A = this chain, B = another copy of it.
Amino acid sequence: MNHKSNKLQLVKLGIDTQHEFIIYMHADCFVCKSEGFETQAQVLVSFNNHSIVAALNVVHSNILKSHEASLSESAWKALGVKEGDIVNLSHLAPVTSLTYVRSKIHGNPLKPEEIHEIITDIVAGKYSNIHLSSFVTASARNNLSIDEIISLTKSMIETGKQLHWDYPVVMDKHSVGGIPGNRTTPIVVAIVAAAGLVIPKTSSRAITSPAGTADTVETMTTVELTMSKMREVVAKEGGCMAWGGTLDISPADDIIIGVERALDIDPGGQMIASVLSKKAAVGATHVLIDIPVGPTAKIRSNQEFLKLKEYFALVGKAVGIHVLVLKTDGNQPVGKGIGPALEAKDILAIFNNEKDFSIDLKNKSIELAGTILELGHKASLGKGEALARKILESGAAFKKFLAICEAQGGFHLPPTAKYTHDVVATQSGIVTEIDNRNLAKIAKLAGAPHDPAAGIEFFARLGTHVTPGQPLYRIHAIAKGELEYSLAYAKTIPHVVKLDTKE
């Protein structure tokens, strides 16, 4: 077919559609007409030997001329174009791997090469949200065997960039999400690197939570590192705290996670592939997995935990990673802060040994770091925690933390919000239950994470005895409107902190 004349000039409309790649063309565009492109057609957009697949939105107004096209922000970035560039457009050849998705819908097991083709096509942008959601749904309900999970993990590693280190042992950690706060990473990285182990940690930004580790660290230093900058930091300090989003490791995972969040499901098989593909791709050899277990956490029973633990170990072995799984308390937030800067302040209070530091966050960080020290043979079995505590309390960890920040671009203090409001107890009682989900939502409505200073300081840990007027939590916001909005929502949910009021 003759595609010589299928060229249009790019105009920037600046439309952010998140992950979805959209191409905009005018209804009178000759390419639409000659190619028979209709709305939602999948179009192969090429520029300088690089291609993406975008869904067509047809425009019936003068924001585009008939010889022009535009791309959604993510597609614009992925194709690496600038205004005025000429792109070539053609039909997307049929996506044969969708046959395997249909096979999975019908309950059939998939072969490794079939899973590889699906993941390759997902990374190439050939799957629309409809296709992605169908693949995710068809793979849920324990529909993936251990062999399929291993194939999925391997395919996700191979379809992205991979880091290789010259160190024989490279440590890493991951916390299965679901409870607010829990920002142990910066403390753990500092202790582990101070002890002389290598820990090139990459983290994600928040997608639906009030803060991701990358958001928190960003309130204190630069997290958008290039691959070479990251290597430089690790070579110098033994550890780093980078945002994984710029590194193109396991890109299929980022796409699939977006769909899972929208569906609010996190099927076990895909979770294991997600975590271990990222860890393998960054070159980790030893990984600690922190799994909070509790009635409102992601993992709710010991039985679920044990199955997950077994699968993590099997898949880890298949991709060459030594995995250690730790069961932790998933009943309530870890630390006081919920939101990027507030979580950073929790961390700094621990490093500085301030008087009202969060003991739970400190202890959990020491527990995780201690386990990693044992895993990396820096401490013998049972001695890791003591060593981790010593490194933290001696100030060596803080020194390492500041050195890593310096190497990444310099340390600065997290910002403070202008407006605060205390939500107080209206009765006496003992805190018996915490609604983690709505607590996170209130923090988000206050502006977290897009306003880094916004969020919640949480005071009412389980077992706390409160009296009327005593603050349960404090909302932080940078604008009065956002404070009020968050507060209005909080008032509709009086039982975020549940009290036992019996005498």
Contact = CB atoms under 8 A, between A and B. Distances in A.
A14 B263 contact: no
B262 A131 contact: yes
A16 B313 CA distance: 48
Interface string A133-147: 110111011000000
A49 interface: no
Interface stretch (A54-62, A277-285, A322-330): A54-62
A98 interface: yes
A130 B131 contact: no
Interface in A446-503: 447, 450, 479, 481-482, 484-485, 488-489
Contacts of A131: 133, 262-263
Interface string A105-148: 11100000000000000000000111111101110110000000
A102 interface: yes
Contacts of A18: 39-40
A36 B141 contact: no
Contacts of A130: 129-130, 132-133, 259, 262-263
Given A479-B33, A482-B34, A134 B15 contact: no
Contacts of A2: 484-485, 488
A444 B38 CA distance: 11
A264 interface: yes
Given A1-B485, A34-B481, A130-B259, A105 B265 contact: yes
A378 interface: no
Given A33-B479, A128-B129, A482-B36, A263 B134 contact: yes
A237 interface: no
A320 B450 CA distance: 55
Copies of this chain, count: 2
A68 interface: no
Nearest to A444: B36
A73 interface: yes
A116 B443 CA distance: 34
Contacts of A15: 24, 57-61
A234 interface: no
A359 interface: no
Interface in A251-308: 259, 262-265
A415 B72 CA distance: 39
A262 to B, nearest CB: 4
Interface string A83-103: 000000000000000100110
Contact of A63 (B27, B58, B63): B63
Interface string A33-45: 1111011100000
Contacts of A60: 14-16, 73
A13 interface: yes
Which of A18, A482, A484 has the largest count of B CB atoms less than 10 A from its CB?
A: A18
B105 A450 contact: no
Given A2-B488, A130-B132, A262-B130, A13 B63 contact: yes
A445 B36 contact: yes
Given A102-B263, A134-B136, A59 B485 contact: no
A12 interface: yes
20 contacts: A1-B488, A2-B488, A12-B61, A14-B60, A15-B24, A16-B57, A16-B58, A17-B39, A33-B482, A36-B444, A36-B445, A60-B73, A102-B265, A105-B137, A106-B141, A107-B141, A129-B133, A130-B259, A131-B262, A133-B133
